[in-house]
Amino acid sequence: MDRPALSLLAFVLAPAFVAAAEPPTVLDPLVVTATAQERPRSEVPAAVDVVDGDALRLARPALSLAESLPRVPGVVVRDRQNQAQDLQLSIRGFGARASFGVRGLRLYSDGIPATMPDGQGQVSHFALTAAERIEVLRGPFSALHGNAAGGVVSVTTAMPAGDPVLEAGVLGGADGLWRLDASWAGSLDDDDRQRLRVDWQRSAADGYREHSAWRRDAAQLAWRAELPGDGELRLLANHLDLAADDPQGLDAARLAGNRRAASAGALQFDTRKTVSQQQLGARWRQPLADAHELALVAWAGRRRTFQMLSVPVVAQASATSGGGVIDLDRDFGGADLRWQWQPSDALTVTAGALHERAEEARLGFENYIGTQPGVVGALRRDEDNRVTGDDAYLQLDAALSERWRLSAGLRHSQVRFRSSDRYVRPGNPDDSGALRYSRTTPVLGLLFEGGEGWSVYANAGTGFETPTFAELAYRNDGGSGLNDALRPARSRHLELGARGASESLRWDLALFQARTEDEMVVLSSQGGRSVFGNAGLTRRRGAEFSFEARLAPDWSLAASGTWLDARQLRDVCTTPACGPGERRIVAGNVLPGVAARFAWAELRWDASLDTTLLLEARATSGFYADDLNTARAPGHGLLGLGVEHRFGPRLTAWARVDNLLDRETIGSVIVNEANGRYFEPAPGRTFFVGLRANF
């Protein structure tokens, strides 16, 4: 991390210690659910953090997870400034390679999976303006959630009690950003047995870069009812419509000339994406006799995606080309049935079974007609794909004594892929095929509570990550059919941690290592097509530290830091022949998209009962954009400043400026982009203002 970046962090941290002489105030205890068993965080032998509603929305626009999740150590969220490609979200380096969407992690919204059975996830429908909290689980225990290697991100919607309240908000910002939102939430009856929340928002922006405008409409309904016998039923329905231009990445030369530019191909083909998604989910929980409990989660949804790519016309001359337009219609759903037995606080046993599926009709078209680019042309791809996941799991949590606690789990996962090719032509053979992957992943953790609020823990486990349909789509040898040479990644995790809490201080420390066999890497990425292969053996090891302190009744400080060494341990060839002079990923190379050091800090001053000021600092070291380590985004440090003021009980105004010093930075990279268009620049000094009113 460069010296200016460290100076920024020191600038935030130093004033807080001046306030440390004031009498401390009390921090609330935390309860977590991400390990599938609700338990005080102090009793969980794993690295797990909670981001509350204040951290999500106080003096912030709550537009994306990139605003709030960097406070969690080990977590990196990079805003691509490209709504067509979603955020780049990684935990301990897992997920950093994703060229779109979220990869290698499990995502949940109110317990409803936002990750497909093949491991591809989306966060675009998360309702952050309605969220009560976000839990982030890192390390071995994420294996208990199935096809995920790096961690779990779980969003919970706030369901306030009492008389219904109507709230409306307006947001404005740089680059033509605006948002209108409204919510209605409260109890439906006098005894608070039913609660309802409805959220709606419409937002749009011209975008920081050329050809990066977007528009987003979203709505969500959440309903909760208490059932006889202390049971509960929750329903969640959401809708998303998104239309976004895609500026694509920039090479170093174009970046130096005009960092706001789009790529030439993006302008030529008018690259863009539209998404429409509807999802309905239900969660039922019912205690039974003799300390037994049953729970069921069920969900179903549809996602329609249209995307215009910049595949060159000449590349589509090949008979095997899938064209330059994606038209994807996906239905998905599943059910997770869980039994739990808790005869005492000292023992909890959980067992369950899950079935999930996704079926998609995928069409591909040429992205030109005659000499006109950027329009839907002739059909070049027509296939039906189906992926199913079937899991069975068992988990035990036991207090061995007053100070020792054991947690163990076992999960067996089976993922099946089937593709039926309906576009068979001379020179384009039948690409139909089927694949099946299965794995059993155990995890074991031990925790010692030392008294006076501190504890230490250790855990170990294995992870399992299958390819996605997108990763199976293209073979490295150019042949037909699914990429059956691509194997699942298998990882072994070790973690050692300590945490402590007092009335005014909460801190966490974790050391970890993960060794992954057959990690999936991008061998080439060009014109919207990515070819994947296995990368032998990789290793991630590091340390994480975070703390939150109440320094005085009106001062608080939170900070986190991560050191991460993520490297390739074996030479890997990126072409089948692997002869002299061929491209090689050399042992010792740093994994792309992964920064070795990153840190975050925030100083909060409650200047009065109605006014709060925030000073935030972020810093990161540089990170590579390709496996060959030939292109690198430099490190940087950023400052942000926010203020929020409440004009009585019904009106709140806030303002924020990010990148206060107006630095030129690279926000994210497109890993292994074949044309060298790796870089996605971030904006300079950026302003936001907003108002919220309730009635």
Q: Please indicate, yes or no, if residue 60 is contained in any of the structural domains.
A: yes
Q: Do 690 and 169 meet the contact criterion of CB atoms below 8 Å apart?
A: yes
pLDDT over 80 (residue 547): yes
pLDDT recorded at residue 582 = 65
Task: Write out pLDDT tens, residues 435-471.
Answer: 999 999 999 999 999 888 899 999 999 998 999 888 8
pLDDT over 50 (residue 129): yes
Position with higher pLDDT, 427 vs 474: 427
pLDDT over 90 (residue 492): yes
Q: Please indicate, yes or no, if residue 629 is contained in any of the structural domains.
A: no
572-573 and 584-585 beta bridge pairing: antiparallel
Q: What is the mean pLDDT of the chain?
A: 91
- Least confident piece of the model among 190-199, 335-344, 523-532, 659-668: 523-532
Q: Please indicate, yes or no, if residue 638 is contained in any of the structural domains.
A: no
641: exposed, middle or buried (Cβ count in 10 Å: 0-12, 13-18, 19+): middle
Q: Please indicate, yes or no, if residue 280 is contained in any of the structural domains.
A: yes
- Least confident piece of the model among 39-48, 319-328, 567-576: 567-576
Task: Write out pLDDT tens, residues 554-589.
Answer: 999 999 999 999 999 988 876 655 666 666 788 999
pLDDT recorded at residue 479 = 65
Of 26-40, 76-90, 387-401, which has the strongest mean pLDDT? 387-401
Please report where in the chains the tokens 């919220």 appear, as a residue: 692
Task: Write out pLDDT tens, residues 151-200.
Answer: 999 999 999 999 999 999 999 999 999 999 999 999 999 899 999 999 99
Residue 303 belongs to domain spanning: 3-605
Task: Write out pLDDT tens, residues 98-119.
Answer: 877 888 899 999 999 999 999 8
| Rounded distance between C-alpha atoms, residue 636 and residue 22, angstroms | 33
pLDDT recorded at residue 37 = 67
* C-alpha closest to that of 277 among 56, 112, 468: 112
Read off the pLDDT band of 22 (50, 70, 90). Answer: very low
Residue 612: half-sphere exposure toward Cβ, Cα within 13 Å: 20
* C-alpha closest to that of 391 among 439, 434, 435: 439
Read off the pLDDT band of 8 (50, 70, 90). Answer: low
pLDDT over 50 (residue 19): no
pLDDT over 60 (residue 33): yes
pLDDT recorded at residue 490 = 93
pLDDT over 90 (residue 378): yes
Task: Write out pLDDT tens, residues 355-366.
Answer: 999 999 999 999
Q: Please indicate, yes or no, if residue 275 is contained in any of the structural domains.
A: yes
Read off the pLDDT band of 321 (50, 70, 90). Answer: confident
| Rounded distance between C-alpha atoms, residue 619 and residue 622, angstroms | 10
Task: Please state the rounded mean pLDDT for residues 223-245.
Answer: 97
pLDDT over 70 (residue 480): no
Of 43-52, 498-507, 632-641, which has the strongest mean pLDDT? 632-641
391 beta partners: 354, 413
Read off the pLDDT band of 36 (50, 70, 90). Answer: low
The two three-digit tokens of residue 680, written as one number: 């996605």
pLDDT recorded at residue 31 = 64
Read off the pLDDT band of 10 (50, 70, 90). Answer: low
pLDDT recorded at residue 117 = 93
pLDDT over 80 (residue 475): no
Q: Please indicate, yes or no, if residue 215 is contained in any of the structural domains.
A: yes
The two three-digit tokens of residue 270, written as one number: 């008018």
pLDDT over 80 (residue 17): no
What's the pTM value of the predicted model, to 2 decimals? 0.93
Please report where in the chains the tokens 């609020």 appear, as a residue: 453
pLDDT recorded at residue 572 = 81
Question: What's the structural domain count of the chain?
Answer: 1
Task: Please state the rounded mean pLDDT for residues 262-282.
Answer: 97
pLDDT recorded at residue 143 = 87
% of the chain at pLDDT higher than 90: 76
Task: Please state the rounded mean pLDDT for residues 379-393.
Answer: 96
Residue 20 one-letter amino acid: A
pLDDT over 60 (residue 3): no
Q: Please indicate, yes or no, if residue 635 is contained in any of the structural domains.
A: no
Please report where in the chains the tokens 């009709």 appear, as a residue: 361
pLDDT over 90 (residue 94): yes
Dihedral angle, C-alpha 284, 286, 292, 294, nearest 10 °: -20
pLDDT recorded at residue 521 = 79
Task: Please state the rounded mean pLDDT for residues 130-144.
Answer: 93
CATH, residue 361: 2.40.170.20
Q: Please indicate, yes or no, if residue 628 is contained in any of the structural domains.
A: no
pLDDT recorded at residue 16 = 45
